[in-house]
Structure formats: C-alpha cells, structure tokens
Amino acid sequence: MADVEDLRSASDDEAEESEDDYAYESEASTDPVADAGDQLDVDVARCCARFGDESAERSTTKGSRTLIVTLKIDPTRSQASAETRQAWGLTAPLSAKLVFSGGATQYASGYCDAGITVTAPEGCIVGRQVERLLEAFWRSPLHKRQRDTEGLLYATLAYANQRMGSLADVCAICDAPLAFGEASILPSVCGRPLCAHQLETFGKLLVGATCLAARADVLDLLVATTRLAARSRRAADILQPPCVLDGTSVGAAAAAKILDRFPSFERIHETARNDGQSAAGFAAVEGALLKVDKQAPAALRWIMTSNKAHLVALPPNMRLLERIAPEATCRQFIMLSQPPARQARFAALKARHGSKFAWHGSPAENWHCILRSGLRSASGTKLQLHGAAHGAGVYVSTSLSYSIRYAMSARRQHRGALPGRAGAAAPEPETPQFNDSFFGSPDLRIIALCEVAEVPGITKSANIWVVPDEDAVATRFLFVYRGEALQARDAAGENTLAPAFDREVRARVDALKSARRPVTPAPRTEPPPPPELPPAKAQRTQGPPGAPPKWLGKTGVPRIMSEFQSLRKWASAPRVHDLELVGDAATTWRFSVADFDGDCPAGRDLNGDLAQLRVPIRMEITFPSDYPTRPFFLRCVSPRFCWYTGHVTAGGAICIEALTTSGSPGSWNPSLNVEAILHTVFANFLDTTSQLIRTATGPGGRSGPLRVDLQRRYCRDPLQEYTVHEARSAFDRMLRHHAANGW
C-alpha cells in the first residue's frame, strides 16, 4: 500500500484532470479480461478469496444501470487492537455500499460517482469516520497510481484495514494527524476552525449512538466529574479542554450553574420505561435537558465529545472484587484510555517484563481532566498539589485503602490547614448534592485499577510504586465510591500483589476481552447508603507533579538540609509544623504533628486525645553521618501512647520495615526520603488492624489505631517525654521480634 500521506496530499485540482487518465485499464491486471463486467466479477472473486466469502458482492438496481458493490469490513482483520475495537463498538463487520450510476463501466473508470454509505453496528462510533476515509480514497488517484494487481475492491478493503487502527490518531473530520497529547482511544477532532465548527455535528453523532439505558451510569459519571471540576478553585487548570457551547466559550462558573441542575440519566430512562419504552432516545434526553437550561443539550454534547476514555458500566453478573467494592457503595466500569499507539507500546513492555496490578486514586474533580488526557505524570505542570516524595512518575499503590484516601476531594484535603498560614492552599467551597443519583454525591472517591508493566526504573517503597514511564501504566477498571457510604471493611484484604487478587482480575480481563458484545448493565434500584464515613490518610493526587526533587543525588548534610527545606513545604494532612533543628545541628530535627483527618473514627479519636491534653504530637528525626546510605531514626517524643497502637513501640520509636537495614524487600533504600516515610507513618497511625498481640518480653495487648495513654495504663503522666534510650531499646527489641517472626 502506498503511504497514507499520499492520500492526504492529493492535489485539490485532481477533478480537472481527464477521466481517461484514471481509466481502470486491463493492463493494470495480470488477468487478460477486457469486458468491464467480467473485470468486476474477477475483482469480487479475488476480494472474497482474500477477505472471506461474503466480503464483497455486486447487485444492480432494478430498471436502471446503477451498480451497487457491498463490501464487508471485518474489524478483526484490521490493525485495531481488541481494546480499541471494544471502545469503538466494533462488535460486527461494517457494511460499505459503493454506488456507481453508470454500472460496471463507471466502476472501471475508477470513480464512485453516486456516493459511499457505511452502515455500522449499533453503538459503533467510527462508522462515519470510516465512510469519510473511503470517500477520500475513491476521490484520490492513490488506488490508480499503485495499480494494485488484485483489483480496486481488494485495494479498498486493504486500505480500510490499514487505516482503521489509527482512526483515533487523526482528526475525525479532516483526517489530519492530531498534535502530541491529543490522541486518545476515542475519536476526536483537531483545532482547525472548520473542524471545530463541525464539532456539534460530531457530538450529536456520539450522543445519539451512546445515549441509551446501558450508558446512563457513564453519562451521570461524566457530568458529575465535569461539574466538580467546574466548581473547583482549580477549574482553570483542570477543566480542560475549555467549555464551548454552541460555538461560544463558557466560563467555569457558568458551566457549573448549568450542570448543577442536570437530571439523573438513570431517572430519565426509568421514566421512559414507565411510559412503555425500552429506553429514552436522544429526543427524550434532549427534551429533559431543555427543561433545565436551553444550553444543557449542548453541554452534554461537549462533555461526550471531549471525553477521550472508553467507559462501560459493569452489570451485576460481571462485577469483580465484590468483597471490597460492593454494589451498595461502589460502581464499576471498564476504563480504557490509551490510544492505539500507547496500547502497542504497553503490550510490548508487558511481554518483555511481565505486569502487576495497582491502584491509582485522585480527587474526583481531577478525573474530568484524566478522562480526557489519560493517566500521566503531572511533573512540572499546574496540576501539582504535593511534593515529589518518591521521585517523578505516575504514582500507584498496591493498597486500595491507601488510594481511597488519596481520592478525597481537594476541599477535604485542605481541611487541616491553618487559616492564614503562609503558603497554605485555600479550602475548596462546599459542594452540595446536585441530583438524586448515585453520582450526585459531593464526596465521590474515584480509583482506577491499573495494569503496570514491571519495567526497570520503577521505585517501590512499601505500598507505593512510582512508574517513570507513562507507557508502562494502562488503566483497566474504574471504581467509583460514595465517600459517605464507605466502610472501613470495604477496603480490607485488597492488596494487589496477593495471588488470589491477581488471578481474579486477570480472569475477568480475559473474559471481557473475549466477549463479543459490549456489556449492558441491567436497571438497578438505588440502595440507601450506610452512614459511616471512611478512614483517611495523607493525600496524594496524580503522582509527583514537579521536576526531580532538589535532594536527588545529594548525600550527607547537603541532602539533609535539602530535605529539611522540602519538608517545610508540607501541604498534606495531617499538618506538620514547628520544624526546627535541635541545637543548630543539621542531623537532628524536631517537629509537631496535628489535625489528623476528622472524617474517619481513628482520626477523630486521636484529635480528641490531643485536644484533651492541648498538645500536638512532637517527633524527632536523627540522621547518620552517611545518610542516605543508612536510614534515619524516627521516634515520637511526646505524648505517651497506648502500647501496640499506631505502629509506635513502647519506647516511642516508629515500627516500620522501611527504616530497617534487614535487607528484606521492604527495607531501607537510598531512594527513600523523609517525606515519603512520614506519609506511610501517618497512614499507619490511623490504619492499624485490631488484633491480639503477644511478645516475648511485654505484657501483650490489642493493637489498633494510635491512641494517647490518657488512662495512664502504661505511664504515670502522658505528657512525660520518651527518652532516646527508651526509643533505641524498643527499636532493638522490635528488630529482634521481626527477625524471628518476619514482617
């Protein structure tokens, strides 16, 4: 096949050239057939021999010379991957009808003068785009210049199969390559004025093809994330691309005002079913939206058109991990977001290095942008919310409970900031419930289950992985929780490295890939949400936004002081303040910790204990002279805590494998730093399993989240400071215990 660029660069004045120049002459074929009708029969036969018995057939219109050639374009023979075909709704062959008013003679001339019509399967979103590229192919001299010896029909199907795998990489209107970063798994348009003008038509095509009962959950989710992004103080950065309704740019506040009144699409379809219809069509949906605002239908088209991720709601019989994502509190979706080129690169990396599954959590308002730009490292962009504690790359976690807490809204993340504190981010305004659907909650927690190719260079620190290569991360599923309905038990036993977890997810991925039809969720009745709020930890969003940290590559005092300056910019919950050097020595720090997340019982209890004593937690870090070759020593100074709670030893030392030099997989490595360790330590304060503890020397007791010893069960005065000797001795006992019993 000739290069695709030959078609795109075909001369505009080609129509002025003589038709004889493009005559489909018998010399172009090795078969000495002179008659045009016989030549057509030969071409049909060759096409069927190569692409299947029903790939081509001819017919004529009764009473006229009009010839109709029907070609069956089988997507499985194209260069489009299984994931791409699923996202585009290519569940069956496309039918392309080529109409020639002059019969076989017109066909032999090389011109399809009466038009090409492509009929696609129900739900397919690329039928019109395939039709456009076939029309361009038959208008150009490409097929004649190459003089394909197998015939024009063979050349047409070969060209369709060649191009189908790259439809998402070019503009759906003008077929021009999209700029870097614009390509996605779904077709989209470029920024040229003519294409932008046709965006409304393209949007109606998408909505008309997908606005069915099976898509109600997807539409509700897309509207909810867009609304949260528009209401965010960071709307200028995360409401991308900018909102354009009926050709006019609309600001975030105006968009939010329209979206605040959007009805639930589930409810629209329920109303249609109650009226005896199977589902609400586009006209019914548009009518319901017009009752809200005259620009509401345009807003829906913009949301649908700008979305670049393939989302399909999983029905009850296809759900996975029900023990940690029950239907009462969680909606599940297939999520494919990689454009075909990135799919191919991921497949190659996976084949070479193998893969594991991991979670990625980010505030719900960020997902409007993620669904349109893909899951990327936010390094050096305006999306930065936190420091680069573990280095640059895409952040994922093997722990669902950890990712759920990172998925808290920005408004909740800043709750612990001191009013007026220099550098503190302004709190997000309260976001009210905006409709009665599952997705109307102002506290959605959205987490992606990703497949990660284990390429060299991944930083693994406890349950946090940093993947520097964006192509090594592929989204597979999306889990949407209602924050107010979450239970702590929902996130239990969810480590993605567990063999049973890995087997279950891979089995479901394989089952979905082999499905011939897209999954269609059955109507559901909305259950009442449980009242409990989930626990929460320190927050992180889309990975380490920012250039490589300044401490990277340094050692000794320069490294220590660089990390000291970095910790002064801590912006997560809980609040770290009063950071100081002890005795002006760079190797010893002390700081205070307060304002733990009050949305979870453990955080509320710890905050209450500290409030009774009217003190924060005071902590101390001591660095070795060869840091970061060896880890620092971290301990609590005051107050005194109940034994076996929050991973704090009886002497105040912190019990964490990452601060040991045992040589185990989770032990210290020089790529770790203070901020990374503190995130894990503060998470452990609030997320400790309750169980009976027995030790060789201590009295034993029950573990659990961190609690101050207000009852004076283990000390005379809870405000009495732990000594360095107590901390070192307890740390040594802890090392002996884990050496004998493992971690």
| CATH number (domain holding residue 731) | 3.10.110.10
Domain boundary among 109, 139, 165: 165
Q: What is the pLDDT of residues 555-590, one digit of tens each?
A: 888 899 889 988 888 877 788 989 998 877 789 999
Residues 578 and 650 in one domain: yes
- 326 and 411 within one domain: yes
Last residue of some domain: 165, 189, 222?
Answer: 165
Nearest to 484 by CA among 416, 536, 539: 536
Residue 549 domain-assigned (yes or no)? no
Strand ranges for 13-87 from DSSP E: 56-60, 67-73
How many structural domains are present in the chain? 3
* Rounded average pLDDT over 472-480: 91
What residues form DSSP beta bridges with 641? 708
**CB burial string 285-303: b at 16+ within 10 A, e below:** bbebbeebbebbbbbbbbb
pLDDT value for 273: 65
- Structural domain including 463 reads 206-420+432-514
User: In the predicted model, what is the mean pLDDT of the chain?
Assistant: 75
Please compute the mean of the pLDDT values over residues 484-501 and round it to a whole number: 63
Of the residues 140, 165, 190, the one at which a domain ends? 165
pTM score, whole prediction: 0.54
Same domain for 365 and 230: yes
Q: What pLDDT, on a 0 to 100 scale, did the predictor assign at position 382?
A: 62
**Are 607 and 489 in a shared domain?**
no
Q: Which range is least confidently modeled, 76-80, 408-412, 573-577?
A: 408-412
Tell me the pLDDT band of 122, cut-offs 50, 70 and 90. Answer: confident
- 226-280 pLDDT, tens digit per residue, is 999 988 888 888 887 777 776 677 888 888 888 888 888 877 777 766 666 555 5
Of the chain, the percentage scoring pLDDT greater than 90 comes to 16
The pLDDT score that the predictor gives to residue 706 is: 92
Q: Do 136 and 222 have their domain in common?
A: no
pLDDT value at position 610? 94
Among positive and negative, which fits the CA dihedral 641, 646, 648, 654?
negative
Give, as one character, the DSSP assignment of residue 721.
P
CA angle at 181 for the pair 178 and 186, rounded to the nearest 5°: 65
Q: What CATH number did the domain enclosing 213 receive?
A: 3.90.228.10
Residue 615: pLDDT band with limits 50, 70, 90: very high
Cα angle: 656, vertex 662, 666; to 5 degrees: 50
Residue 21 has pLDDT above 50, yes or no: no
pLDDT of residue 29: 43
437 and 499 share one domain = yes
Assess if residue 394 is contained within a domain. yes
Same domain, 648 and 720: yes
Share of the chain above pLDDT 70, in %: 72
Q: Which of 4-18, 75-89, 264-278, 638-652 has the lowest mean pLDDT?
A: 4-18
Least confident of 264-268, 626-630, 632-636: 264-268
**What's the pLDDT at 431?**
52
Containing H/E element for 363? strand 355-363
